[in-house]
């Protein structure tokens, strides 16, 4: 394992990947914490901030262009920003079922599933973890 493919990719990609790794760790912590506590809310706000950073920074990564400077992953980024707001708003309204479903879905799909695609051969995180 070598971090050099990531750290030589420029500040946007490096920051994007480090924020995603932080969001994975914060999300796991968040899911393990007792719900409704001060720690849950604090970790949740930190997770939302890192997820927003991941989604926003993706708009400045344009290596795979499908339409203009964008690709289908940017649709997911826009949806992620909307879902973060929706999930947080649901918690504030007391709609905990919607909040839980939204946040679990974001963690599983926007982080874990899309993160798995970064491990495909030819991608930076593949080079970080497996060399090449």
- Among residues 43, 70, 51, 69, the alpha carbon closest in space to that of 115 is found at 51
User: Cα Rg for the chain, rounded, in angstroms?
Assistant: 16
Q: Does residue 67 carry a pLDDT above 80?
A: no
Cα–Cα dist 8/74, whole Å = 23
Q: Please write the tens of the pLDDT for every residue from 92-114.
A: 999 999 999 999 999 999 899 88
2-23: burial string, b at 16+ Cβ within 10 Å, e else = eeebbeebeeebbebbbbbbbb
Predicted pLDDT at 5: 83
Q: Are 71 and 87 in contact (CB under 8 A)?
A: no
Predicted pLDDT at 101: 97
pLDDT average, residue stretch 11-26: 95
Half-sphere exposure of 80 (CA within 13 A, CB side): 28
DSSP, res 66: S
Q: Does residue 65 carry a pLDDT above 70?
A: no
The residue to which tokens 């719900």 are assigned: 35
Q: Facing residues of 67 across strands? A: 70
Could you give the percent of the chain with pLDDT greater than 70? 94
Q: What is the pTM of this model?
A: 0.88
Q: Facing residues of 50 across strands? A: none
Cα–Cα dist 98/66, whole Å = 33
């Amino acid at each position: 394992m070598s971090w050099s493919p990531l750290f030589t990719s420029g500040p946007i990609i490096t920051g994007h990947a480090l924020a995603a790794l932080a969001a994975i760790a914060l999300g796991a912590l968040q899911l393990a914490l007792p719900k409704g506590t001060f720690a849950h809310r604090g970790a949740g706000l930190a997770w939302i901030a890192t997820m927003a950073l991941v989604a926003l920074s993706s708009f400045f990564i344009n290596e795979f262009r499908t339409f203009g400077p964008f690709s289908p992953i940017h649709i997911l980024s826009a949806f992620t920003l909307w879902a973060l707001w929706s999930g947080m708003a649901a918690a504030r309204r007391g709609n905990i079922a919607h909040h839980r479903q939204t946040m679990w879905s974001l963690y599983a799909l926007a982080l874990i599933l899309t993160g798995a695609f970064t491990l495909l051969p030819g991608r930076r995180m593949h080079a970080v973890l497996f060399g090449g």
